Amino acid sequence: MQTLLDNRINRLLADKSQNKLSIYFTAGFPALNDTRTILMALQEAGADMVEIGIPFSDPVADGPTIQASNQKALENGMTLRLLFEQLEGIREGVDMPLILMGYLNPVVQFGMEAFCKEAARVGIDGLIIPDLPLAEYERQYKGLFESYGLKFICLITPQTSEARIRQIDALSDSFIYMVSSAATTGAKQGVSNEQIQYFERVNAMNLRNPKVVGFGISDADSFRTVGQYAEGAIIGSAFIRMLESSTSLKADILRFIQSIKVNSSNL
């Protein structure tokens, strides 16, 4: 195994001084060529990590907001090939950890090895492929991902058994994506007691990997709350909704990120 600080994700999450904010957006949305603009604006605004969504026609783990952004991105003409073109040279201006998040079929059609090669070349640090199950990952792709220095990030949910969480922890060496509740993306507002019990239960397991909470985190409040139980949180649907109504991406992204970071670090 590689050392724990070998990758931008590991370096970011090794610093425990504050709660890390990760942003999800769908590539090709709102307009086809917004990818770089959004990434640069996120970097300037002080986001800590970014998940770039590869649009898919049938995103079964996603709620209405991200579904709609996927559909719009595809209508705009977004493809994986084009995404890699847009990301060409992105490391000249962006040093946040970058993660590609997408469903398995577009990746497989691109070719898994070609995908890893391109991802590594443009400076991607990790992959989230929700419908690539752990067993298939281990059987088919683990060696490949590792050889390109790409971290495979696994999800856990309130229903994931302790034994399986331990197994995922053993196989991971970046972070564990803690899905906040039994839901698709964007479903809930606020953080319930039941969720807190789940976070506490997982915390008590003393996993070796940091945890980042996603699904249903939408504002400074929920960001701050889950930050007590994890190293960071991911905001997706709320960010997409902001993009959708934005007239000036750069200014609106700055405002969005600050509203979350400033309001949550005050306490």
Partner 1 sequence: MFSATSQGNFSVDESGYYGEFGGAFIPEMLYPNVEELREKYLSIIAQEAFQKEFYELLRQYVGRPTPLYKAEGLSARYGAKIYLKREDLCHTGAHKINNTIGQILLAKALGKNKIIAETGAGQHGVATATVCALMGMECIVYMGKHDTERQKPNVERMRILGTTVVPVTSGSQTLKDATNEAMRHWISHPVDTHYIIGSVVGPHPYPDMVARFQSVISEEIKVQLLKEEGTENPHKVIACVGGGSNAAGAFYHYLDAPEVELIAVEAAGKGVNSGYSAATTALGKPGILHGSRTLLMQTEDGQVVEPYSISAGLDYPGIGPVHAHLFASGRGKFYAVTDEDAMQAGVMLSRTEGIIPAIETAHAIAVLNQLELSSDEIVVINLSGRGDKDLQTYIDWGKY
Which residues are at the interface with partner 1 (CB under 8 A)? 56-63, 67, 71, 74, 79-81, 103-110, 130-134, 136, 154-157, 159-161, 164, 179, 182-184, 187
Separation in Å, CA 26 to CA 89, 135, 230, 236, 250: 19, 27, 24, 9, 16
Minimum CB separation of residue 40 from partner 1 in Å reads: 26
SS3 214: strand
Catalytic positions, written as ranges = 51, 62
**Separation of CA 21 from chain center:** 10
In DSSP notation, 148-166 reads: TTPEE--EE-TTS-HHHHH
Minimum CB separation of residue 264 from partner 1 in Å reads: 27
Minimum CB separation of residue 69 from partner 1 in Å reads: 13
| Residue found under tokens 């479903």 | 187
Nearest residue (CB) to partner 1, 56 versus 198: 56
Minimum CB separation of residue 70 from partner 1 in Å reads: 10
**Separation of CA 114 from chain center:** 21
Minimum CB separation of residue 79 from partner 1 in Å reads: 5
Nearest residue (CB) to partner 1, 79 versus 259: 79
Nearest residue (CB) to partner 1, 104 versus 120: 104
- If residue 67 lies in a helix (H) or strand (E), which one and from where to where? helix 64-76
Task: Please provide the size of the chain in residues.
Answer: 267
Nearest residue (CB) to partner 1, 4 versus 187: 187
Half-sphere exposure of 200 (CA within 13 A, CB side): 8
Quick one: residue 10, left, alpha or beta (phi over 0 = left, psi -120 to 50 = alpha)? alpha
Instruction: Give the separation between CA 43 and CA 14, rounded to whole angstroms.
Output: 19
Minimum CB separation of residue 135 from partner 1 in Å reads: 8
Separation in Å, CA 99 to CA 130, 167, 206, 218: 13, 22, 25, 20
Would you state the structure tokens that stand for residue 147, as one six-digit string? 């050889």
Nearest residue (CB) to partner 1, 98 versus 101: 101
Strand partners, 228: none
Nearest residue (CB) to partner 1, 40 versus 155: 155
Instruction: Give the separation between CA 1 and CA 233, rounded to whole angstroms.
Output: 26
